[in-house]
Amino acid sequence: MNAKILPEGYTAHFSGHETFPLRQMWLKKAFDQSVQAGTVPKSTFTAENAIAEFGVGKNMVASIRHWALACDVLRDTSPSEYSISPIANEIFRDGGLDPYSENPSTAWYVHWWLAGKGNRATTWYWLFNHVTAPSFTRDDLEAPLADFARTLDPKRKLSTSTLSRDIDTCLRSYAPRSGAGTPEDFAEPMLGELGLISEEHKSHFAFRRGPKATLDDGIFAFALLDFWDNSAKGLSSLAFEAIAYGEGSPGRVFKLDEDSVAQRLLALGDLTNNALSWTDTAGLRQVHRKKTVTDEFKMSMIAKAYD
């Protein structure tokens, strides 16, 4: 149930965002820099006109690049250019599924890349998969995160300030600051709408566990299949306990309670035309997967989330 989900050779990331949480329009800004054949020159983010092109300061341009890579909008495929991922093209192109990130499914998809896969977002992955306390302070997180970082890369030296800034950026991605400041400083972060973390009182945070009304079954099914491929590839069935409680599972990453997971698994048959099906016999609760469930099928679940 707690099999290691992070891939062999995983590189831990605790910086790159310049302490700016992801804003709603930033992924579109990065996507719109694409040129022929769906590529973005790396120089786009460092050129003298980048500040004018993106309409933000230099550090925010670097942050936009970081988030575009972390959320699989851009892929680092060559020394001179980034490529646009196929799903990003479907979502963010003009006339696409959700070019301006107005549909909650886009934010849930982004959250999966960060907290479910830990893509350039190790603190996000650790927070949602390894912190079991229902409430916590930022200070509570620093020493355990440092321990986790050492298990990933014992030789790497990370400063306390780097981890502290990453924790703060992660928490503010879901529970933004309130108070005075420039509009850009306190713009609503993209993940704030998901209702996954709340600030109960100053510097005290809590997970919001339970049903998630804005989480579409299509995103849940995509995440389930992605988790399945990462943790139990080749198996034709997966136990309820793994889906609800396993490291990197939809249950953990989306903070769903047991009843909410069960309801979504019951709906899989209708959603997938029985390519995925739920059984509960003799106390054995599991999801079955037909051989017809390919990567292409998994990606088709994304499109269903925008129907």
The DSSP code for 254 is: T
pLDDT at 182: 52
Q: How far apart are CA 122 and CA 118, in angstroms?
A: 5
Q: Where are the beta strands (DSSP E) in the chain?
A: 39-41, 74-76, 81-84, 135-137, 197-201, 204-207, 237-239, 276-281, 284-289
Amino acid found at 63? S
pLDDT at 5: 75
φ, ψ at 18 (rounded to 5°): 60, 25
Cβ-in-10-Å burial (0-12, 13-18, 19+) of 12 comes to: buried
What is the value of pTM for the model shown? 0.95
DSSP β-bridge partners for residue 277: 288
Q: How far apart are CA 185 and CA 177, in angstroms?
A: 9
Tokens of 2: 């707690």
Q: How far apart are CA 171 and CA 179, in angstroms?
A: 16
pLDDT at 187: 67
pLDDT at 48: 94
pLDDT at 85: 97
> 39 near 81, Cβ under 8 Å?
yes
Query: Residue 1: pLDDT above 70?
Result: no
Residue-wise pLDDT tens digits, 164-185: 999 999 999 999 876 545 555 5
The DSSP code for 115 is: I
Residue-wise pLDDT tens digits, 272-287: 999 999 999 988 999 9
> Mean of the per-residue pLDDT values for the chain?
94
Categorize the per-residue pLDDT at 208 as very low, low, confident or very high, splitting at 50, 70 and 90: very high
Residue-wise pLDDT tens digits, 35-60: 878 999 999 999 999 999 999 999 99
Buried b (16+ CB within 10 A) or exposed e, 286-303: bbebeeebeeebbeebbe
Residue-wise pLDDT tens digits, 291-305: 999 999 999 999 999
Q: How far apart are CA 88 and CA 96, in angstroms?
A: 9
